[in-house]
């Protein structure tokens, strides 16, 4: 998608226009194209594969209903990621109350069961201890490799604010990862 | 861990995230004490990136199924427009129902009151005619005459009546006029009662009585409350009876004759 944008041709905009004109298959193409990315974002924030799968369906439901409101001032992917982050954080906060009494090791163990064996358990544990907002920043920067500009657009904030938030989230993660006292 | 200077801290993060081996070597050649820190952060970043779900599904993404429980985050403009129209319709309907349900006020009937025309010759100096007072009859005669009153009037606008009588006492004619018009006619003592004949059409009671009064020597005085007082026209100094002290204005006939009921010219 990024290479297409740099080439001056925005495939996503074309698909959006087609969908708004009544071509339902265009939405299917967008869905297939961005499913993995949205799933990764939801998975990183929610830390649960099943919850992430549900969140992805909800995200694309919102996109399907409100695509007419996409103002095209930003890229479609940025708009999509914003919805994905917001929805995932909402779900994470909603589920936080349900999981409050769940042992952290149990939660980490569940994550580990879903992850490949090469995953560092310390990484998993540190990630689980972060807030959903911090996890969102980590995921957008390290998993989706978005620039600070794109992260700012996805979070609907300024670039400097995004930079500050990212640095703080990363520092908190580092402290948790290395086991240092706050 | 000892906190690093912000610039150094930011530089290390940039190096490990970019993963440029040569750049890292040059940095460590300059800052060999940072070797462990660089190694620790490299491991952390590597672990984070590896934790990313793989194109999490081996197969095609699951089919898209709209989640019905997902509510609109914000209603569309059309919703606001429809809601505004519905509210406006409810307001109009409420007003209409209330307007229909309220009892209509009955308009008060307009009562036409005949206002006697002021005679400029009489009222030029004194203004409108004074309200007629009850006549003081003073000492009553042996006949024990009492004012003859007809039944209580119902105040209503004077209407033209017609009365035709060939021969009847004057006071009977008064009764007939009262009955016909609904007015109360009060006849003062001393009012003559000759037998008369009348023939009036489309004239108000007061007009009829005035005309009769000029002919038969009495004056009708409209009290304004549905009653008319008939007082005799007294000749100057000729009557032995007590004259009713009534502030009155001379009839037109008297004025023409140069007489007034008060006995003054």
What pLDDT score was predicted for residue B225? 85
Identify the residue with better confidence: B100 or B123. B100
Nearest residue, CB atoms, A138 vs list B10, B48, B64? B48
Which run of H or E residues covers position B121?
A: helix B120-126
Contact B50 A122 (CB under 8 A): no
CA distance B50 to chain A (A): 7
Identify the residue with better confidence: A55 or B155. A55
Sort out which chain B residues have CB atoms less than 8 A from A123's CB and list them: 44, 47-48, 51
The SS3 assignment for A165 reads helix
Mean pLDDT, chain A, whole residue set: 82
Cβ–Cβ under 8 Å, residues A130 and A169: yes
Chain A CB within 8 Å of residue B50 CB: yes
For residues B7-34, average pLDDT: 91
Sort out which chain A residues have CB atoms less than 8 A from B10's CB and list them: 167
End-to-end CA distance of chain A: 40
Chain A CB within 8 Å of residue B6 CB: no
pLDDT reading at B250 higher than 80: no
What pLDDT score was predicted for residue B129? 52
Contact A36 B56 (CB under 8 A): yes
- What is the Cα–Cα distance from B17 to B43, expressed in whole angstroms? 10
Confidence tier at A70 by pLDDT (50, 70, 90) = confident
User: CA-nearest residue of chain B to A164?
Assistant: B10
Q: What does the block give as tokens for A51?
A: 């919850």
Which value, to the nearest 10 degrees, does the dihedral of the CA atoms of residues A181, B4, B8, B12 take?
-30
Sort out which chain A residues have CB atoms less than 8 A from B2's CB and list them: none
Q: What is the interface pTM, i.e. ipTM, of the complex?
A: 0.76
Contact B64 A28 (CB under 8 A): yes
Q: Using one digit for the tens of pLDDT, what is the confidence trace for B65-122? A: 777 776 655 556 788 899 999 999 999 999 999 999 887 766 666 666 666 565 555 5
What pLDDT score was predicted for residue B137? 46
Q: Residue B168 gets which letter from DSSP?
A: E
Angle of the A11-20 helix axis to the A76-99 helix axis, nearest 10: 80
- What is the Cα–Cα distance from B125 to B128, expressed in whole angstroms? 9
Q: Using one digit for the tens of pLDDT, what is the confidence trace for A102-116? A: 545 555 555 544 555
Please state, in angstroms and as integers, the Cα–Cα distance from residue B96 to each residue in B92, B93, B183, following that order: 6, 5, 46
Please state, in angstroms and as integers, the Cα–Cα distance from residue B7 to each residue in A164, A169, A180, B14, following that order: 14, 17, 21, 11
Nearest alpha carbon to residue B249 among B229, B212, B221, B223: B221
User: CA B113, B117, B119 angle in degrees (round to 5)?
Assistant: 160
Alpha helices in chain A (DSSP H): 2-6, 11-20, 24-46, 49-66, 76-99, 104-114, 121-129, 132-138, 148-155, 159-178
| A19 Cβ neighbours under 8 A, 6+ residues apart | A26, A27, A30, A67
Nearest alpha carbon to residue B232 among B117, B112, B167, B148: B148
Pick from B47-56, B78-87, B128-137, B195-204: least confident: B128-137
Nearest alpha carbon to residue A92 among A26, A40, A136: A136
Q: Kindly list the residues of chain A whose beta carbon comes within 8 Å of any beta carbon in chain B.
A: 27-28, 31-32, 35-36, 39-40, 43-44, 49, 53-54, 57-58, 60-62, 64-66, 115-116, 118-120, 122-124, 127, 138-139, 142-143, 167, 170, 173-174, 177-178, 180
Q: Using one digit for the tens of pLDDT, what is the confidence trace for B44-60? A: 998 888 888 765 455 56
Confidence tier at B169 by pLDDT (50, 70, 90) = very high
Pick from A119-133, B136-150, B224-238: least confident: B136-150
Beta bridge partners of B232: B218
CA distance B77 to chain A (A): 11
**Per-position DSSP letters for B56-119, written without gaps between them:** S-SSSPPPP---TTPPPSS--HHHHHHHHHHHHHHHHHHHHHHHHHSPPPPPPPPPP--PPPP-
- Across the A/B interface, how many CB contacts are shorter than 8 Å? 86
CA distance A10 to chain B (A): 23
pLDDT reading at B230 higher than 70: yes
In the block, residue with structure tokens 């703080």 = A168
Nearest alpha carbon to residue B215 among B242, B241, B181, B254: B254
Confidence tier at A182 by pLDDT (50, 70, 90) = very low
Contact B44 A177 (CB under 8 A): yes
Contact B67 A66 (CB under 8 A): no
- What is the Cα–Cα distance from B221 to B218, expressed in whole angstroms? 10
Cβ–Cβ under 8 Å, residues A58 and A87: yes
Q: Residue A139 gets which letter from DSSP?
A: I
Phi, psi torsion values for A156, nearest 5 degrees:
60, 50
User: CA-nearest residue of chain A to B58?
Assistant: A36
């Amino acid at each position: 998608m990024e290479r297409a944008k740099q080439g001056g041709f925005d495939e996503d905009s074309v698909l959006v226009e087609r969908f708004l004109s009544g071509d339902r298959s265009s939405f299917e193409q967008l869905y297939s194209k961005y499913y993995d990315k949205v799933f990764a974002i939801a998975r990183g924030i929610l830390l649960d594969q099943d919850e992430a799968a549900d969140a992805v369906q909800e995200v694309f439901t919102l996109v399907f209903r409100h695509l007419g409101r996409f103002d095209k001032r930003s890229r479609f992917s940025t708009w999509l990621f914003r919805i994905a982050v917001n929805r995932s954080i909402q779900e994470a906060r909603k589920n936080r109350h349900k999981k409050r009494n769940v042992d952290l090791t149990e939660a980490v163990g569940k994550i580990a069961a879903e992850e490949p064996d090469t995953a560092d358990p310390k990484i998993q544990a540190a990630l689980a201890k972060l807030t959903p907002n911090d996890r969102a920043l980590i995921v957008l920067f390290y998993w989706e490799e978005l620039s600070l500009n794109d992260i700012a657009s996805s979070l609907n904030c300024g670039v400097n604010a995004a930079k500050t938030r990212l640095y703080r989230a990363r520092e908190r993660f580092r402290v948790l990862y290395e086991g240092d006292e706050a | 861990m000892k906190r690093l200077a912000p610039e150094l801290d930011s530089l290390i993060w940039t190096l490990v995230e970019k993963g440029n081996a040569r750049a890292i070597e040059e940095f460590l050649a300059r800052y060999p004490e940072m070797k462990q820190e660089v190694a620790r952060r490299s491991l952390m970043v590597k672990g984070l990136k590896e934790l990313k779900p793989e194109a999490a599904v081996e197969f095609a993404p699951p089919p898209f199924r709209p989640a019905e429980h997902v509510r609109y985050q914000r209603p569309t403009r059309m919703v606001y427009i429809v809601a505004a129209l519905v509210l406006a319709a409810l307001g109009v309907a409420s007003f209409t129902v209330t307007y229909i349900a309220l009892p209509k006020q009955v308009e008060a009937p307009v009562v036409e009151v005949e206002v006697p025309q002021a005679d400029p010759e009489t009222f030029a100096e004194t203004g409108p005619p004074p309200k007629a007072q009850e006549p003081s009859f003073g000492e009553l005669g042996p006949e024990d005459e009492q004012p003859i009153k007809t039944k209580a009037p119902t105040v209503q606008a004077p209407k033209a009546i017609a009365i035709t009588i060939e021969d009847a006492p004057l006071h009977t004619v008064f009764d007939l006029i009262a009955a016909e018009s609904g007015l109360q006619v009060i006849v003062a003592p001393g009012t003559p009662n000759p037998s008369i004949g009348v023939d009036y059409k489309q004239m108000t009671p007061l007009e009829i009585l005035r005309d009769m009064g000029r002919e038969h020597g009495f004056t009708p005085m409209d009290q304004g409350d549905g009653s008319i007082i008939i007082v005799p026209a007294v000749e100057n100094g000729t009557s032995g009876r007590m004259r009713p002290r009534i502030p009155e204005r001379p009839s037109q006939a008297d004025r023409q004759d140069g007489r007034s009921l008060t006995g003054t010219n």
